[in-house]
Amino acid sequence: MKVKALITAAGLGKRLGFLTRNTNKGLLKVSGQPLILDILKKLRAQGIDDIFIVTGYQAGHFRKHLDLYFDKGAKTLFNPFFRVSGILVSFWIARPFLDGENFIFTTTDHFFHPSVLKDCLHHQKHRCKIRVVVQKKQRYTREDSKVMIQKDRILKFGKDLPLSHVNGEFGGMAYFSSEASRLFFRLLEIHLEKDGLQGYMMDILNKMKDQFQMPICFSTCGEHSRIEIDSVHDLIKAREMEKKR
What is the secondary structure of 89-122 as a DSSP string? HHHHHHHHHHTTS-EEEEESSEEE-HHHHHHHHH
Res 125: pLDDT: 55
Percent of the chain exceeding pLDDT 90 equals 71
| Among 12, 8, 178, 2, residue whose Cα is nearest residue 77 | 8
Most trustworthy range by pLDDT among 146-155, 160-169, 185-194:
185-194
Residue 41 CB contacts under 8 Å (≥ 6 apart), including other chains: none
The residue that leads in pLDDT, 188 or 122, is 188
Give whole-number Cα distances, 201 to 99, 151, 188, in Å: 15, 22, 9
Question: Across residues 136-142, what is the average pLDDT?
Answer: 88
Q: Supply the range of the domain harboring residue 70.
A: 4-243
One-letter amino acid at 68 equals L
Distance between CA atoms of residues 23 and 13, nearest Å? 9
Q: What residues contact 103, with CB distance under 8 A and at least 6 apart? A: 3, 4, 5, 6, 175, 176, 181
DSSP-H helix ranges across the chain:
35-45, 59-68, 87-98, 114-122, 178-195, 201-210, 232-243
> What pLDDT digit, counting tens, does each position of 103-118 carry?
999 999 999 999 999 9
- Model pTM score: 0.94
User: CATH number of the domain that 11 lies in?
Assistant: 3.90.550.10
Total domain count for the chain? 1
Distance CA 197, CA 195 (A): 7
| Predicted confidence band of residue 207 (pLDDT cuts 50, 70, 90) | very high
